[in-house]
Structures are given as structure tokens and as C-alpha cells.
Amino acid sequence: MISPRLFIRTLVRRLGYDLHSLPVECLTLRDLEFDLPCLVGARDPRVLDVGANVGQSIDLFRRTLKNPRIVSFEPNPTLATGLRQKYAACDVRVEAMALGSAPAQGPVDLDRALAASGSDGSEERTGTYDNPT
């Protein structure tokens, strides 16, 4: 007979998810800036920031993690240029491209992307993405 724990884990994996135990004793579960180092656990984590926007996540990672190696992806060329300038003296690599599950090229609906990001809309509103991998 299968244990209830194994049954639940198998069911969850079949649904496309995975379960992990968290170090609850060191988490607030309310403050990401406090919890992030505990969740990551690495001394020099590698961080992929997909859809870097204006760098708010980069700032969070740099504030809360020790020696993060950050690669940010931003398809809007104006924003990518601004990020490169802002983080030129830091260990942050900015790639002006979108990421996806298949190679593609085409227009980006920046109005919808900016609305979803909470942006004030002052960024350039046109652009294309080129996802070579």
C-alpha cells in the first residue's frame, strides 16, 4: 500500500507541480526582503531576471542577496539601455531580448506589458523581440 505522503506527492507531480519543504523557522512569510536569502540559501546565487522592466527586481536582489550574479532580460530596447547604464558598475548583465520556450521573432504588445508591470507608461511603446534560442 502506498503511503498518503507518496500518493499526494505523485498526484501533485502528475499535475505538473513539485513540493518542497521550506525552512519555516527562519521565514516571516510576510517580508520578501527578509525571506529571500533564507529561501535561496546560496552565498553567491545566480539570478535570472526575466522581464527586467526598470530594474526593481535587480534592486531587490542586490539589497537582499550577498554577491548575486544577475542576468536580466528586457525586450524593450530603451529600458535595456537604461538598465545597462544604471548597473554598469555592478555585476549585472543585461540582455535586450525576450525569453520564450521556442525561437521566435515579432512585435511586443508593450501597452499590455507596461500595464501588467505597474509602469507609469513613460517608456518607449514600440519594440520587437528576438528570441534566438
The DSSP letter of residue 133 is -
Number of domain units in the chain: 1
DSSP state of 25: G
Q: For 1-59, write each residue's pLDDT tens digit.
A: 889 989 998 999 999 988 778 778 888 888 999 999 988 888 899 999 999 999 999 99
Quote the CA–CA distance of 74 and 20 in Å, as a whole number: 30
Spatial CA neighbour of 66 closest among 36, 29, 104? 36
Kindly indicate the confidence band of residue 133, based on its pLDDT and cuts at 50, 70 and 90: very low
Radius of gyration over every alpha carbon of the chain, rounded to an integer in angstroms = 19
Question: Is this prediction's pTM over 0.75?
Answer: no
- Structural domain includes residue 5: no
Which residues have a Cβ under 8 Å from the Cβ of 129 and sit 6 or more positions away? 75, 97, 98, 100, 104, 105, 106, 107, 108
Does a structural domain hold residue 125? yes
Residue-range definition of the domain harbouring residue 94: 24-131
The reply to whether 16 falls in a domain is: no
- Whichever domain contains 71, its CATH number is 3.50.50
Q: Are strands 104-107 and 128-131 parallel, antiparallel or unpaired?
A: antiparallel
In tens, the pLDDT along 76-132 reads: 899 999 999 999 999 899 999 988 888 888 776 766 666 665 555 555 444 554 545
